[in-house]
């Protein structure tokens, strides 16, 4: 008797389970609640996320925390080439090292959005952005509601620009220019000591001021509109953030790059991202026009789900 | 017909591939769990950045013809791989593997595109693991 | 010579010399090439240094030909040489149609790129950055970048870009560019003047003095015009202290 009942229970359970699966697979995502975002940061205490392996550049692992330590050492001794006016010469075309974070700058698994990666955040050492609690909640709720400003071909801001697509660096007396392959955006960084703009002008790229500290280019970014998030999942800063970027050559083909974000409105303490730039090995490479807004109209139309463009975390 | 090129726009091989993906998310628009295969003829090509679009006419099992939009790589990235707009002529028969758009329309992110004679050109609209290394 | 004749000679010479001096003082000093060349900023390789922030002061962005004011549109003396644009007959009809529908048909109203040469005379500043092998034009209007490469070849087409592909060389102190590989999605102005993908431009940049850069562009498009035609205008250096390029992200205001 017991055996008959168990077998019957089993069959019914399987049938019910099958029905549930069939019903739910046919429903839209919104009907059953939020689908998991495939590149969310695993909760604290999780095993390492499954990612594609990292390579090596200039004798350093690409993995951000390892690259950071290794590159910092090499930065102490490498002597960079110089421009005619005596500054370290960073000119040329540069791609990225280690910064697999377009979708999420914290640790996240491989997905159709990317290779996955360890956290790009090297300070604090746990690799998690030190949000105030309200801000963490806001970040967690961002992805399902908003389209990245990049989908509207709007500029990255700081420091996202620094880890963006191929950059063409040009240096002239008193300036460093970074021309990005993404939507033909650019940054103009005066190094002539002029003051920042006043607080009433906000810019998509922020207001940038550069100076040389030894062999390191230090870029100070203020006056940001902060409507562009730091990544797709929605990590963000406020318009009052101060971002300090530091770029140092550690090899003729590798630049070590950090960005420290200070923003008392959003975080409990400053935090730092580390990554690298690698020189494009193709000596004939040229930036070519990447018009964006005209061509993206089709994408916006065909994949429209009613999401609004992200305007950053702060109501304007 | 001009010889179609075999494209391997894996990230390690194509320097400029990432920018086409960089500034918006696959997961925001496409469903990774819904992979489909479509057979049809090319009717129109939108040769633009950040993503190009192939439009194909697909005949369903009931004989009805439906138009589908297939997201492909951006014009500049394809150009760097040696491809030109004139390589894709309307009327060519294609088999497309891709992921459905979340909004339920006849839209896919192209993963693999083959011609009728088996030549393969991998247009890299939104491809697995194509985020920056 | 008698002393009287000598005195007369001296008087004549003095008068002539004084007259010459007076004339030279009252003559409007001409900017002869030699004079201008001497006062231009120069790169280490001797070429004029075009670096800096520049902007036009005309109404060409609205209408490149002579036009009177209308609502929201300043009047302007045209920048087209001879004030005539030699359209082929069918193209002229298209231009007139464009003009009628300009407030919706102008790609620029959708925040699409103004293209070249229109971007050069949009009423926003741009920064020229210059090295011996590369000159960049960084525009405040929708963060556009024009890449100008020195002494090099156009990439192989077919290519259709809003800004075209620009290759340049110096002819003496004049920067001469050759621009091809256009799409047909941009206009010359808000008045409907347009071109096809066969547009070919030759631009000439000549510094008149430290703060004035003369811009001349020859336009050729056999699909649209019956012959080449020219526009010219000065760029004025933005000389304010600490002047910098800001931004104008057109599509951000409505989206």
Looking at the partner chain, which of A62, A150, A304 has a beta carbon nearest the beta carbon of B22? Answer: A150
Q: Is A297 helix (H, G, I), strand (E, B) or coil?
A: helix
> Average pLDDT of B102-115?
90
The sign one gets for the Cα dihedral B25, B31, B32, B36 is: negative
The per-residue pLDDT for B87 is: 77
Q: Is C86 exposed, middle or buried (0-12, 13-18, 19+ CB in 10 A)?
A: middle
Interface contact flag, A186 C145, Cβ < 8 Å: yes
Collect all residues of chain A within an 8 Å Cβ-Cβ radius of residue C113: 291, 293-294
C190/C187 Cα distance (integer angstroms): 7
The per-residue pLDDT for A10 is: 57
C23, C193 in Cβ contact below 8 A? no
Of the pLDDT bands very low, low, confident and very high (cuts 50, 70, 90), residue C1 is: low
**Are residues C198 and C242 located together in one domain of the fold?**
yes
Query: To the nearest 10°, the Cα dihedral for C136, A159, A292, B69?
Result: 150
Interface contact flag, C160 B79, Cβ < 8 Å: no
**Are residues C57 and C82 located together in one domain of the fold?**
yes
How close does chain B come to C156, measured CA to CA in Å?
10
A138/B89 Cα distance (integer angstroms): 47
Beta bridge partners of B66: B58
Which of C133, C160, C252, C253 has the most A C-beta neighbours within 10 Å, making it the best mutation to test the interface with A? Answer: C252
Backbone torsions φ then ψ of B42, nearest 5 degrees: -70, 125
ipTM of the complex: 0.88
Helix (H) / strand (E) element for B36: namely strand B30-46
The per-residue pLDDT for A19 is: 44
C67 in a domain, yes or no? Answer: yes
How close does chain C come to B110, measured CA to CA in Å?
23
- Whether B4 shows a pLDDT value over 70: the answer reads no
**What is A16-80 written as a DSSP string?**
HHHHHHHHHHHS-GGGGSPPPPTTPPPPTTPPPPP-PPP-EETTEESSHHHHHHHHHHHHHH---
Q: Is A219 helix (H, G, I), strand (E, B) or coil?
A: strand
C35 in a domain, yes or no? Answer: no
**Are residues C92 and C199 located together in one domain of the fold?**
yes
Collect all residues of chain C within an 8 Å Cβ-Cβ radius of residue B86: 158
- Strand-pair category, A308-309 with A146-147: parallel
A51, A98 in Cβ contact below 8 A? no
- For A:247-286, CB contacts with C below 8 A are 286
Residue A268, both tokens: 């409990």
**Are residues C183 and C139 located together in one domain of the fold?**
yes
The residue in chain A having the minimum alpha-carbon distance to the alpha carbon of residue B34 is A25
Residue located via tokens 């800001």: C246
C203, C235 in Cβ contact below 8 A? no
Q: Does A89 touch chain B (CB under 8 A)?
A: no
Query: What is the set of domains in chain B, with CATH numbers?
Result: 17-121 (2.40.50.140)
Degrees (nearest 5) of the Cα angle A149, A90, A226?
20
pLDDT tens per residue, chain A (316 residues)?
A: 445 555 666 565 555 444 444 444 333 333 333 457 899 999 999 999 999 999 999 999 999 999 999 999 999 999 999 999 999 999 999 999 887 889 999 999 999 888 999 999 999 999 999 999 999 999 999 999 999 999 999 999 999 999 988 999 999 999 999 999 889 999 999 999 999 999 999 999 999 999 999 999 999 999 999 999 999 999 999 999 999 999 999 999 999 999 999 999 999 999 999 999 999 999 999 999 999 999 999 999 999 989 999 998 876 5
Interface contact flag, B85 C160, Cβ < 8 Å: yes
Q: Does A89 touch chain C (CB under 8 A)?
A: no
Instruction: Tell me the CA end-to-end span of chain B in Å, nearest whole number.
Output: 37
- What's chain C look like in SS3? CCHHHHHHHHHHHHHHHHHHHHHHHHCCCCCCHHHHHHHCCECCCCCECCCEEEECCCCCCCCCCCECCECCECCECCCEHHHCCCECHHHHHHHHHHHHCHHHHCHHHHCCCCCCCHHHHCCCCEEEEECCCEEEEEECECCCEEEEEECCCCCCCCCCECCCEEEEEEECCEEEEEEECECCCCECCCCCCECCCCCEEEEEEEEEECCEEEEEEEEECCCCECCCEEEEEEEEECCCCCCCCCCECHHHCCC
Question: Residue A146 carries which DSSP code?
Answer: E
The per-residue pLDDT for C102 is: 97
Domain span at residue C246 reads: 42-252
C85/C78 Cα distance (integer angstroms): 11
Residue B11, both tokens: 């990230």
Collect all residues of chain C within an 8 Å Cβ-Cβ radius of residue B85: 158, 160
Residue C71, both tokens: 């609502």
- Whether C6 shows a pLDDT value over 60: the answer reads yes
Q: Does A98 touch chain B (CB under 8 A)?
A: yes
Interface contact flag, B84 C158, Cβ < 8 Å: yes
C219/C85 Cα distance (integer angstroms): 10
Q: Which residues of A80-93 are buried (b: 16+ CB within 10 A; e: fewer)?
A: beebeeebbebbbb
Residue among C210, B14, B132 at smallest CA distance from A55: B132
Q: How many C-beta atoms surround the C-beta of residue A240 within 10 A?
A: 16
- Strand-pair category, A242-251 with A216-222: antiparallel
Interface contact flag, B24 A98, Cβ < 8 Å: no
Interface list for chain B against chain A, based on CB atoms closer than 8 Å = 11, 15-16, 18-19, 21-30, 32, 46, 48-53, 69, 71, 74-76, 79-80, 99, 101-105, 107, 126-133
The per-residue pLDDT for B116 is: 76
How close does chain C come to B61, measured CA to CA in Å?
39
A neighbours by CB contacts (3+ pairs under 8 Å): B, C
**Are residues C12 and C65 located together in one domain of the fold?**
no
Note the pTM of the prediction, 2 decimals: 0.87
Residue among A242, A277, A243 at smallest CA distance from A257: A277
The per-residue pLDDT for C16 is: 60
**Are residues C22 and C110 located together in one domain of the fold?**
no
Residue located via tokens 């497309």: B96
Backbone torsions φ then ψ of B63, nearest 5 degrees: 90, -10
Interface contact flag, B85 C157, Cβ < 8 Å: no
Q: How many C-beta atoms surround the C-beta of residue A304 within 10 A?
A: 14
Collect all residues of chain B within an 8 Å Cβ-Cβ radius of residue C160: 47, 85
C53/C55 Cα distance (integer angstroms): 7
Residues sharing a CB contact under 8 Å with residue C237, sequence separation 6 or more, in sequence order: C52, C53, C54, C210, C211, C212, C213
The per-residue pLDDT for A313 is: 84
Q: Which CATH number covers residue C64?
A: 2.40.128.20
**Are residues C13 and C72 located together in one domain of the fold?**
no
Collect all residues of chain B within an 8 Å Cβ-Cβ radius of residue C143: none
Q: Does A305 touch chain B (CB under 8 A)?
A: yes
The per-residue pLDDT for C128 is: 98
The per-residue pLDDT for B85 is: 80
Residue among B103, B87, B81 at smallest CA distance from B29: B103
The per-residue pLDDT for C34 is: 42
Collect all residues of chain A within an 8 Å Cβ-Cβ radius of residue B22: 102, 150, 164-165, 182
Q: Is A4 exposed, middle or buried (0-12, 13-18, 19+ CB in 10 A)?
A: exposed
Which of C143, C241, C250 has the most A C-beta neighbours within 10 Å, making it the best mutation to test the interface with A? Answer: C143
Q: Does A85 touch chain C (CB under 8 A)?
A: no
C37 in a domain, yes or no? Answer: no
**Are residues C20 and C94 located together in one domain of the fold?**
no
B62/A39 Cα distance (integer angstroms): 39
**Are residues C128 and C8 located together in one domain of the fold?**
no
The residue in chain C having the minimum alpha-carbon distance to the alpha carbon of residue B87 is C158
Query: What is the set of domains in chain A, with CATH numbers?
Result: 56-307 (2.40.128.20)
Look at chain C and report how many structural domains it folds into.
Answer: 2
Interface list for chain B against chain C, based on CB atoms closer than 8 Å = 47, 79, 84-86
Digit-coded pLDDT (tens) for C71-115: 999 999 999 999 999 999 999 999 999 999 999 999 999 999 999
Digit-coded pLDDT (tens) for C134-189: 999 999 999 999 999 999 999 998 899 999 999 999 999 999 999 999 999 999 99
How close does chain C come to B84, measured CA to CA in Å?
7
B neighbours by CB contacts (3+ pairs under 8 Å): A, C
Interface list for chain C against chain B, based on CB atoms closer than 8 Å = 157-160
Out of A60-64, A245-249, C35-39, C46-50, pick the least confident: C35-39
- Whether B133 shows a pLDDT value over 50: the answer reads no
Backbone torsions φ then ψ of B52, nearest 5 degrees: -85, 165
C242, A195 in Cβ contact below 8 A? yes
How close does chain A come to B1, measured CA to CA in Å?
28
Interface contact flag, B85 C158, Cβ < 8 Å: yes
Which of C51, C115, C187, C249 has the most A C-beta neighbours within 10 Å, making it the best mutation to test the interface with A? Answer: C249
B97/B114 Cα distance (integer angstroms): 9
Helix runs in B14-119, H state only? 17-22, 26-29, 75-80
B-to-C residue pairs, Cβ atoms closer than 8 angstroms: 8
């Amino acid at each position: 008797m017991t055996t008959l009942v168990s077998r019957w229970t089993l069959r019914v359970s399987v049938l019910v389970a099958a029905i549930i699966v069939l019903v739910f697979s046919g429903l839209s995502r919104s009907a059953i609640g939020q689908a998991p975002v495939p590149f969310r940061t695993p909760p604290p205490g999780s095993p390492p996320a499954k990612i594609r392996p990292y390579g090596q550049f200039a004798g350093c692992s690409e993995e951000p925390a390892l690259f950071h330590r290794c590159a910092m050492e090499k930065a102490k001794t490498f002597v960079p080439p110089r421009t005619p006016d005596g500054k370290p010469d960073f000119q040329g075309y540069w791609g990225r090292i280690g910064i697999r974070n377009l979708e999420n700058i914290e640790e996240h698994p491989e997905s159709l959005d990317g290779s996955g990666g360890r956290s790009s955040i090297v300070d604090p050492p746990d690799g998690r952005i030190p949000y105030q609690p309200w801000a963490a909640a806001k970040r967690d709720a961002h992805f399902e509601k908003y389209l990245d400003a990049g989908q509207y071909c709007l500029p990255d801001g700081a420091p996202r620009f620094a880890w963006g697509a191929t950059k063409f660096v040009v240096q002239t007396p008193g300036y460093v220019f970074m021309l990005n392959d993404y939507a033909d955006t650019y940054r103009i960084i005066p190094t002539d000591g002029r003051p920042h703009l006043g607080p009433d002008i906000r810019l998509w790229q922020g207001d940038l001021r550069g100076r040389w500290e030894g062999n390191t280019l230090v870029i100070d970014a203020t006056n940001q509109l902060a409507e562009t998030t730091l990544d797709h999942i929605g990590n963000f800063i406020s318009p009052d953030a101060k971002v300090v970027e530091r770029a140092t050559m550690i090899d003729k083909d590798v630049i070590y790059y950090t960005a420290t974000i200070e923003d008392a409105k959003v975080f409990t303490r400053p935090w730092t991202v580390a990554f690298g730039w690698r020189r494009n090995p193709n000596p004939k490479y040229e930036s070519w026009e990447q018009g964006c807004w005209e061509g993206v109209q089709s994408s916006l139309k065909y994949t429209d789900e009613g999401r609004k463009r992200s305007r950053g975390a702060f109501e304007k | 017909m001009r010889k179609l090129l075999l494209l391997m726009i894996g990230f390690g091989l194509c320097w400029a591939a990432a920018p086409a993906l960089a500034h918006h998310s696959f997961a925001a628009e496409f469903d990774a769990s819904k992979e489909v295969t479509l057979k049809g003829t090319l009717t129109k090509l939108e040769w633009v950045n950040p993503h190009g679009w192939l439009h194909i006419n697909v005949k369903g099992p009931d004989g009805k013809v439906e138009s589908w939009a297939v997201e492909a790589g951006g014009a500049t990235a394809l150009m760097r791989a040696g491809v030109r707009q004139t390589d894709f002529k309307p009327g060519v028969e294609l088999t497309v593997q891709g992921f459905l758009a979340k909004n339920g329309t006849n839209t896919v992110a192209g993963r693999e595109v083959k011609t009728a004679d088996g030549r393969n050109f991998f247009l890299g609209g939104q491809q697995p693991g194509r985020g920056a290394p | 010579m008698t002393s009287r004749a000598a005195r007369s000679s001296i008087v004549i010479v003095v008068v002539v010399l004084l007259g010459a001096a007076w004339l030279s003082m009252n003559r409007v000093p001409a900017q002869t090439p030699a004079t201008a060349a001497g006062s231009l900023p120069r790169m280490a390789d001797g070429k004029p240094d075009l670096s800096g922030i520049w902007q036009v002061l005309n109404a060409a962005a609205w209408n490149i030909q002579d036009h009177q004011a209308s609502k929201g549109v300043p009047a302007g003396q045209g920048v087209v040489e001879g004030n005539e644009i030699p359209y082929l007959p069918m193209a002229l009809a298209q231009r007139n149609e464009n003009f009628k529908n300009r407030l919706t048909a102008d790609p620029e109203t959708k925040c699409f790129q103004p293209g070249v040469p229109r971007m050069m005379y949009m009423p926003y500043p741009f920064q020229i950055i210059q090295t011996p092998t590369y000159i960049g034009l960084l525009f405040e209007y929708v963060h556009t970048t024009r890449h100008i490469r020195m002494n090099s070849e156009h990439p192989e087409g077919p290519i259709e870009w809003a800004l075209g592909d620009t290759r340049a060389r110096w002819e003496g102190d004049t920067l001469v560019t050759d621009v091809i590989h256009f799409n047909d999605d941009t206009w010359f102005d808000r008045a409907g003047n347009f071109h096809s993908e066969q547009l070919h431009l030759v631009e000439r940049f000549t510094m008149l003095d430290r703060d004035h850069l003369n811009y001349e562009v020859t336009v050729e498009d056999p699909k649209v015009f019956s012959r080449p035609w020219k526009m010219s205008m000065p760029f004025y250096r933005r000389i304010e202290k600490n002047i910098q390029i800001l931004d104008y992200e057109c599509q951000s205001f409505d989206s």
